[in-house]
Amino acid sequence: MRQLYEQILVDNEKRRFYAKCETSGEKRYSVKLPLSCRGEELLQLLEEGCAGGLRQKKYNSAKARAVQDLARYFNQCRKCGKWVCDEMFDPDIMECKQCNIRRV
């Protein structure tokens, strides 16, 4: 099953980490990108884990905080493994609403 970590991206304009619901596409923003981590080329290296040094450390810990924060708003479907927002999730059966098309 995929981790929420893999679903967390950086919004270049807002300079924040965010996660997107895989079903509705809704974005939820979280912690800010550290000052030393800004810049498009640098960001690419950081995302690949190749920037090294203090910047990489700062980026990694900021991203870890974003994961913790965003985990409160996303749920993992036990069937397809997608992380979706509360609206797209049925907590009774732990499945997303795409997997669980209700038989009414």
Footprint of Zn ion (CB under 5 A):
21, 23-24, 26, 77, 79-80, 85, 88, 96, 99
Least distance between Zn ion and beta carbon 21 (Å): 3
Least distance between Zn ion and beta carbon 64 (Å): 23
69/90 with CB nearer Zn ion: 90
Specify whether the CB–CB gap between 36 and 57 falls below 8 A: no
24/44 with CB nearer Zn ion: 24
Q: What are phi and psi of 28, to 5 degrees?
A: -130, 125
- Rounded Cα distance between 39 and 44, Å, is 9
